[in-house]
Structure 1
Amino acid sequence: MQTIALFDVSTAPKPAAKPRRAPLPLGELPVSSVPAAYDREHLYSPKVDTAAVVDHRPGDQFPPLPVSPHGRMAWRTWWDKEASVETPDFLGLEAGDEITIEHGSSTGPGRVLLTCRFGAFVQYDVPECEWATETHVDMYVTARNQFGHWYR
């Protein structure tokens, strides 16, 4: 007699989950594909004009980001060809990292979706309420404060 299984249980091993990385200690410049600097305990990636006057760690793959030009078309070209170029990391953040995001007047957990020269594109959940129409918010973070919270 043959039995019928209600569930097919795979015997193949599950793929290993990405190990949770320890956050970069405060006060330490990260090894990163973009330049890194500190100013009044805030970690950021300096642009060309700022990098000329502050101590910073050069990026492994990219020089300081050029300052954005004025004008809609010039800005769009700068964004497409310079600022939004994907990077392996942004100031030590990598896609999939769980971080604390400072948004508005509060902080909360979020996750890094992707990184580029300009910053890290992140997502955080919106608490349920009657007037909320979204379940999450997407934003860029470009700096980290002295408490370890990322912000724009």
Structure 2
Amino acid sequence: MQTTALFDLDVVAPAKAAPQRRAPLALGELPVSSVPAAYDRGHLYSPRTVSAEHVDHRPGDVFGPLPMPAYGPKAWRAWWDEASTATADYLGLMAGDEITIQHVGSTGPGTVLSTCRFGAVVRYALPPVEWRDEEHAEMYVTARNQFGHWYR
């Protein structure tokens, strides 16, 4: 009779639950967010300190409005370090969300990779061409238009 030791058993990984798709924020609704949120002519965005005092906005739960970018390499770097601080969300967007991106002449799907005070990094598919090996590109989105599409 042969006995089976614990390390002789096959390891079976537990099945992962499918991620729950979140419903997109309704148009015209200010999101509960880490950063301030405002609307202007149907466009959702996070106001900067210069404009925040002049527009009706919902304050951020964690961060206040970003200052305007500074001029000069060192000053801009200090501003970017503050602007690229990771956040739990950006205007309601969270990592893993599927969104629609407004390109110059079209719209297309994208997936949110990460969020910061400045915006959300989104990955989207590139059309296949012979001269390029990349299948995807990434971009920041910082606002949503009146049709629900995100753009920079």
Please say if 1:148 is aligned against 2:148: yes
- 1:72-109 C-alpha deviation (Å, 9 max, x unpaired): 111011101x1000000000000000000112211100
Q: What is the number of residues matched between the two proteins?
A: 145
CA deviations over 1:85-141 (Å, ceiling 9, x no partner): 000000000000000011221110000000000000111010112233421111100
Structure 2 counterpart SS, 1:76: helix
CA drift at 1:52: 0.8
Q: Aligned partners of 2:40 and 2:55: how far apart in 1?
A: 9
| Structure 1: 5+ residue stretches without partners | 1-7
1:32 is aligned to: 33
TM-score of the superposed pair, with normalisation by structure 1: 0.90
Task: Please name the residue that 1:111 is paired with.
Answer: 111
Q: Does 1:78 align with 2:91?
A: no
Any unmatched runs of 5+ in structure 2? 1-9
Which amino acid letter does the alignment assign opposite residue 111 of structure 2?
A: R
Residue 17 of structure 1: how far off its partner (Å): 2.5
How far, CA to CA, are the matches of 1:53 and 1:132 in structure 2?
46
Identical-pair percentage: 70
Write out aligned runs for 1:110-129 (5 A): 110-129=110-129
- TM-score for the superposition, normalised by structure 2: 0.90
Q: Which residue of 2 aligns with 1:42?
A: 43
